[in-house]
Structure 1
Amino acid sequence: MSWKSSLDSLFAILDELVVTDADGVAMDTDQGFALLVEWIDGCREDRRRIYFAGNGASASMASHFSTDLAKNAEVPTEVFTDCSLITATGNDFGYDQTFAYPLSQRMVEGEVLIAISSSGNSPNAVEAVKKAHEFGGLAVTVTAMNPDNALRGLGDLNFYLPADSYGMAESGHAVVLHHLVDIFSERNG
């Protein structure tokens, strides 16, 4: 594969970003970002948090964008990437609870969880979204691969890329999340 074909593939995937609501109804991409920005603004105004969760490379993205959003949107954020927390929770409650359990100790109504999963089938991300709803939170999913993945059907707002490889999914997700942060960067000068 040449560099140019990789770029063309990534552009094609990004160009096919699908944003859906809780009912699975597609919406205009900019409308989806605007809704998420509205939710983040509401959290900032009420000093509520935005939580991030993801596995592997998505965990790195969760950490990266938690920091970027805190800095650029001036909103409290939290990410579940502490290895002691993950291993203790996984050991005591099961790996599928590594995000849901700490979320249940922190989340209050109206806060937002952003769950990132390339496959969209990570059991711990799925359980975190369910827990967010249980506590009156809003859930945003960022997924790829299979359009019928488990996570995509659970979010209040869902960003899906039709990537068929982890490299393209992760690269595309980084672009989607950078776009979100850039909205705040441009607005705040």
Structure 2
Amino acid sequence: MNWYSSVQVLSKVLEQLAVTDGAGTLLDADAGFALFREWIEECRGERRRVYFVGNGASASMASHFSTDLAKNADVPTEVFTDCSLITATGNDFGYEQTFAYPLGQRMVPGEVLIAISSSGNSPNVVAAVARARELGGRSVTITAMSQDNRMRALGDLNFYLPADSYGMAESGHGAVLHHLIDLFTQRGA
């Protein structure tokens, strides 16, 4: 595959972004982003947190966009990428609890969890989404690969890209999250 073919594949993946609400109702992409922004603005106004979770490259994105949102939109954020926290929690409670356990110590009703997973089936990210629901928080999932991945049915708002490779999924997720940040920076919010 040459460069232009890769660009065309990524463009097609991005054009097919599917956004659904918690009931599985398909939303217009701009309406989904507007709701996403509204929830974050509510957190900002009430000094509540927006949490980010993900594994591997998705953990890097979680860290990156947690920083971007805090810096560019003045939103309190937290990301669970601390090595000591992950290894202690994984050792004591099992790897599946690496995000759900600390989220349970921190999240209060009305806060938002942004859960990023290329496959949408990462057990520790799925567990965090379930824990956020138990705590009265809102969950936004950002997934790819299989259209019937587990996370896509769990979030209050779900962004799904029909990418069939990790490279396309991760590039697409970066574009989705950069668009969210741009919604705050382009309007002078």
Q: Calculate the TM-score normalised by the size of structure 1.
A: 0.99
Residue aligning to 2:14: 14
Structure 1 contact 32–157 (Cα < 8 Å) conserved: yes
Tell me, which stretches of 5 or more residues in structure 2 are unaligned? none
Please list the CA deviations of residues 139-177 of structure 1 after superposition, one character each: whole Å capped at 9, or x if unmatched. Answer: 000000000000110000000000000000000000000
Tell me, which stretches of 5 or more residues in structure 1 are unaligned? none
Structure 1 contact 63–79 (Cα < 8 Å) conserved: yes
Whether 2:31 is the aligned partner of 1:31: answer: yes
Could you tell me how far apart the structure 1 residues matched to 2:147 and 2:69 are?
A: 27
Residue aligning to 1:45: 45
Residue aligning to 2:143: 143
Which amino acid in the other structure matches residue 155 of structure 1? G
Could you tell me how far apart the structure 1 residues matched to 2:153 and 2:90 are?
A: 25
Structure 1 contact 18–160 (Cα < 8 Å) conserved: yes
Q: Please give the root-mean-square deviation of Cα atoms over the aligned residues, in Å.
A: 0.6
Which amino acid in the other structure matches residue 105 of structure 1? Q
Give 1:187 shift.
1.6
Residue aligning to 2:172: 172
Moved over 3 A (4+): none
| Sequence identity (%) | 72
Structure 1 contact 72–188 (Cα < 8 Å) conserved: no
Could you tell me how far apart the structure 1 residues matched to 2:20 and 2:187 are?
A: 25
Structure 1 contact 68–181 (Cα < 8 Å) conserved: yes
Please list the CA deviations of residues 84-141 of structure 1 after superposition, one character each: whole Å capped at 9, or x if unmatched. Answer: 0000000000000000000000000000000000000000000000100111000000
